[in-house]
Structure 1
Amino acid sequence: MKVIGAGVGRTGTYSLKLALNVLGLGPCHHMEEVLLNMPTQVPLWSAAADGNPDWAAIYDGYQSAVDWPTGAFFRELSAAYPEAKFVLSTRSPESWTESYSSTIHTLICSKDQAPEEMRDWLNMAERVIAKSGFAPEKSKQELHDAFIAHEQAVKAAIPADRLLVFQAKEGWAPLCAFLGQPVPDTPFPRTNDRAEFWDKVSGKG
């Protein structure tokens, strides 16, 4: 593992995944990979949530990882991959709270209505998201405060020389400088708005 994302969902993680793939640092793991490979990935991440991670199996074939579930395990992954660089994808706490509340939070809170084949994935997702401080019963204000607390915890745990705090709107320059990569001639990926989120979850995306 060369690059590990410590940012939570709805902070531009899908754009960051695509960017790392463009830079030759992929394949990049993302929650979408779990959704597309549930029989293998869900049991592995459920075991990680139990405190028994098998990182080699989880990340087999991947050079990088962003988004949940990865973002919930930044401390463990920093120890497991001491040479890896970390990217904390971020945005304003206010805009994140609005985006998260209308996507992931809504999905987790309504998981009992989900199709049977999605339940194990959603149960695992709820556990790793709660590990990051975002339990489903939290109010918007509590989610806002938990977002700030997560970012503070990452900055406290990961040495500054291994960590880039990054917003997708900053584009290629800071990311490439941090990773020692040339800036591509293609625009920085911008994707996964709220409509795309629901398409991916429903299997349309």
Structure 2
Amino acid sequence: MAKFCPHCGAKLNDNASFCSSCGTKLMISPHTSEAPSNQYHTVIYKEDKSLEDMFLRKEGRLNRLRYFKRMLAVLGARIGVVIILWAILSDSWGNTSAGVDALIAIISIGFAYPEYCLTLRRLEDLNEKNLKMAFWFAGIDVLTIIMSSVTLSQRAERKMMIFGIAYLIFFIYLLVKAGTPGANQYGPDPLGPMQ
């Protein structure tokens, strides 16, 4: 008969003392747990190892410091790519064509996806995963990129400034608000087990 982890429901080996999927230490014999349970056990937080896990994964809690560092890395990569493209594709006076501006804007928009993933994970740490909120956060960034590449009226510029302020307030909220201590419904505490 198949055995399952009491925390995540993953199938277990017969002699396992830790879940190979979520890292839960099996407090009881794996033979006695026949179906998944919703009880939390001591769970070890698994560090992200690859760049894909760090920036493109949408599940798993992310604490404030990791969130801040990774958002800075995304911003730095975006700025670096834009500067390189501008340096390669601009004329000797530093001017770019409309096509080059559009290319730079499209490439910049690609960096909104890692922002979306990181924001989802940060919201999981706050135990309030909200797809609409994360989508809104990344959407404001995309809208700002698009609007910065076209000429706007003063009224539209004021609206964009309001969106930018809302974006900044939400970002500060994600940096300041402490995550849920201990395990929550989205997984183990990224700061480690509580003592």
TM-score range, shorter chain: under 0.3
TM-score by length of 1: 0.26
Structure with greater helix share of residues: 1
Greater relative CO, 1 or 2 (CA 8 Å, sep 6+): 1
Structure with greater strand share of residues: 1
TM-score by length of 2: 0.26
